[in-house]
Copies of this chain bind each other. A is one copy, B any other.
Amino acid sequence: MMFRHCTAIVVSLLLGGCTTFSLNAIIPRATGDLGVVIERASGSVQLVDTSDQRAFASVSGLGDLSHASVVFSRDERFAYVFGRDGGLTKLDLLTSAIDRRVIQSGNSIGGAISQDGRRVAVSNYTPGGVRVFDSDTLDLVADIPATQLSAIDEKTGKPKQARVVGLVDAPGNRFVFSLFDSNEIWIADFSDRSTDQPVITRFEDIGRQPYDALITPDGRYYIAGLFGEDGMALLDLWHPEQGVRRILPDYGRGQQKLPVYKMPHLEGWAIAGNRAFIPAVGRHSVLVMNIDSWEQVAEIPVQGQPVFVMARPDGRQVWVNFAFPKNNSVQVIDTESLAINQTLSPGKAVLHMEFTPRGEQVWVSVRDDGKIHIYDTDTLQLDKVLSAESPSGIFFTARAHRIGL
């Protein structure tokens, strides 16, 4: 029986069956339990398997991966890695190889994949603006220049463009992003399938220097943090006609202008039930906000300046990591009692956390120890430790199926 299969395969190969796959691909496997770990110092990534809890491949040659982020194709086969150097790399998780790679700008800060999976958008610092690529070929399909500034770019002799941050996907094949230098939020609507040109809606004077943003898990609310003043900018994507409004007037560095060691990541906002858990800026606390009223309802003291505040998928726990000097530890908050369940000390420079899709484990990157710690989220016990080269971001393929990730 096996011999018959072998014969058939050999015949098929000799007849030219090789054209559709490469050697590495020959062992069939699915990708729903895979992920990518960024190794920032070496410009490489590890490919990991959350079922076996191991790394199964390493891929190098991805350029500058500081602050790199990743989105996934809708079939969960390909990872799109956004590098700080403007590199956009399409990584094949089945062959453990780079499928395509383009240097699409001089300096990029992140990206997103459209709801239908057809387009990958990248937000750029230099030259500013958003570039949109075909997710199969990485061919450029739309170029969205940002607002021109009065300053002139030395290289091009043309006016500089506003830097783009906080780019996310939204339902209706839309991308939403913020313009740091021109205080704007834009919606680029790609829902008209007859054209690659989006309809752009601009919101001006949304607040000074939006530096990052998030979209709620249902894709309804886009919220930008402001670097230039306190408060946040909220856009209800169900009602763009109502414009952008300000919420949480005290959110930010405040009157005291406390030293902020690291601006918190807004993508790390945790939404559990009708409450959001938010890293305070510069203060040692996690704020709790009611997302119906958009008002703060509680403040939870934690041991340092929070960076990522992430909810376990069932919303029962929130995990928090911290800026220096508390960046060796993680605290786990019970979302019901708002008490600290436990303080864990994974090691030097805890940079990121990623939950398995249904939340039974969480993977924690410990950069300066070169380790990934895997915890059981039920017992809070350490299940396993893996090695990695200065690991930072961890991204699992289940993000492919989520709005705004």
Contacts and interface: CB of A to CB of B under 8 A. Distances in A.
- State the number of copies, please: 2
Interface residues of A, number: 69
Interface stretch (A5-13, A277-285, A293-301): A5-13
A18 B31 contact: no
B314 A219 contact: yes
A27 B34 CA distance: 19
B21 A28 contact: yes
Contacts of A27: 20-21
Given A32-B77, A33-B117, 12 more contacts: A9-B13, A21-B27, A26-B26, A31-B32, A33-B74, A50-B74, A218-B314, A218-B315, A219-B314, A238-B316, A274-B292, A401-B401
Contacts of A400: 32, 357
Given A29-B77, A116-B360, A172 B378 contact: yes
A195 interface: no
Contacts of A5: 18, 22-23
25 contacts: A2-B19, A5-B18, A10-B14, A17-B26, A21-B26, A26-B28, A29-B77, A29-B94, A30-B93, A31-B76, A32-B77, A32-B397, A32-B400, A51-B117, A74-B357, A171-B316, A171-B360, A171-B378, A173-B360, A191-B378, A220-B314, A357-B401, A358-B402, A359-B403, A398-B401
A13 B6 contact: yes
B51 A23 contact: no
Contacts of A398: 401
A231 B186 CA distance: 47
Contacts of A172: 378
B219 A75 contact: no
Contacts of A30: 30-31, 73, 75-77, 93-94
Interface string A63-107: 000000000111111000000000000000111000000000000
A403 B314 contact: yes
> A10, A72, A76 — which one has the most chain B CB atoms within 10 A of its CB?
A76
Nearest to A33: B75
A336 interface: yes
Interface in A7-64: 8-10, 12-14, 17-23, 25-34, 50-51
